[in-house]
Amino acid sequence: MTSGGRDLSFRVVTGDQSTNEQVSHELIFKHFRKNKVEIATAVTMPFPFLMSLRDQALISEQMYENFQDACTNLVPVTRVVYDVLNELEKTFHPSLLKVLFSKTNLQAYPNLNKILRSFQNVSHEYKALLRTNGADTEEMPRVPSGGGKGNYGSSYQLPH
């Protein structure tokens, strides 16, 4: 993505690319897992976070209602968000990052911008490592950050 916008770019990954994609996916997953507390702390109110997860079918209607009830019953929002992230970790897919770092969420929760940059740094460091090993980083998997709509394929990119 050279335009610097938030549009998503998806591509088919085959052969040697699938190994790079698996490694990149694993790095992004580990980074997600290590940053759940920071993400939970950045999300200070249930709307629009919970609603966007429900609307994108990342959590069920029942889970949404349970999490909403917890907020209503005075469980701190950050604790509820952490519990949501724990559930999402079990079935982690990069499409979660597209929703988490959507334009709407970034506006509602400005502290997510710093966390988004940390994901970008992981992506850039991995690309630099591949470059030193002679790999073609133009065919790298990409991590979404939001704003765009489209296929939730396994290739993903963070915005620059």
Q: Which tens digits make up the pLDDT trace of 77-132? A: 999 999 999 999 999 998 899 999 999 999 999 999 999 999 998 877 777 777 77
Q: Is there a domain that residue 94 lies in? A: yes
Q: How many distinct structural domains can be found in the chain?
A: 1
Instruction: Give the pLDDT score at 17.
Output: 60
In a domain, 38, yes or no: yes
Residue 2 lies in a domain: no
Please indicate, yes or no, if residue 3 is contained in any of the structural domains.
Answer: no
Domain ranges, residue 132: 16-139
Is 83 inside any structural domain?
A: yes
pLDDT tens-digit series, residues 38-90: 999 999 999 999 999 999 999 999 999 999 999 999 999 999 999 999 999 99
Residue 8: predicted pLDDT: 36
Q: Residue 130: what pLDDT?
A: 73
Residue 25 lies in a domain: yes
Task: Considering only residues 151 and 34, tell me which one the structure prediction assigns the higher pLDDT.
Answer: 34
SS (H, E, C) the chain: CCCCCCCCCCCCCCCHHHHHHHHHHHHHHHHHHHCHHHHHHHCCCCCCHHHHHHHCCCCCHHHHHHHHHHHHCCCCHHHHHHHHHHHHHHCCCCHHHHHHCCHHHHHHCCCHHHHHHHHHHHHHHHHHHHHHCCCCHHHCCCCCCCCCCCCCCCCCCCCC
Q: Is residue 149 part of a domain?
A: no
Compute the average pLDDT of residues 143-159. 43
132 is a domain residue: yes
